[in-house]
Structure 1
Amino acid sequence: MQRVPSGIFVPSALALVVGGCASEQQMLASEQDQALLTAVRRGQFEMSCPTARGVVLSANLLQPVLWNGIERAEYTIGVEGCGQKATYVTVCPLGSPGCVAVSGRNLAQ
């Protein structure tokens, strides 16, 4: 039985850890445009302001609730236009074309 030097496993493990972080960011980036569009459209409708614009305030990857469930990306998006501001929490199932924007606590005017 041949022995493999233990020093080989350290770079491999480090590559897996670093690679995992990069893939999470890539997953969030892949869904961000759809999430932003969904929140901005809802904001434009609720504010009666077709020129409202949005910005992503935060992004998180949500783990599945059940084993073998669907991972979801969650974004907090600020929408501003026509003298009004609103925040929306937008959730997108990874790999799905649909996102849902839920109204946040919209106290800013």
Structure 2
Amino acid sequence: MKKLFLSLLFIVSSSAAADSLLKVIDQSGLVRAVSKISDKADIKVFVRNGAGHKLSIRNVDGFKGERVGKKTRNGAIIFYSVPSGVWKIAGKGQVAKVVISR
């Protein structure tokens, strides 16, 4: 019984350790989205009156490079395959909504 308990404890702790946190903050430092991810995720940013706005995201700890977003047909800006960490939105345009998808 003790071996079974220890095995289950190891499995649970291993799976919990595999998930990392992805957090997105806007230009003012407000948290816009948070998600647990196991690998990488896409971030979609919706901007008020988004025509012509270029956005990038910068990793707060500085270990991962800056990423420039690509504009979608509906005017959102998407960042593909973003790793875990805290990312800050940079650029002009007021952020309306941020969605993290895995």
TM-score normalised over the length of structure 1: 0.40
Q: Which structure shows the bigger proportion of residues in strand conformation?
A: 2
Q: Which structure shows the bigger proportion of residues in helix conformation?
A: 1
Higher RCO (CA < 8 A, seq sep 6+): 2
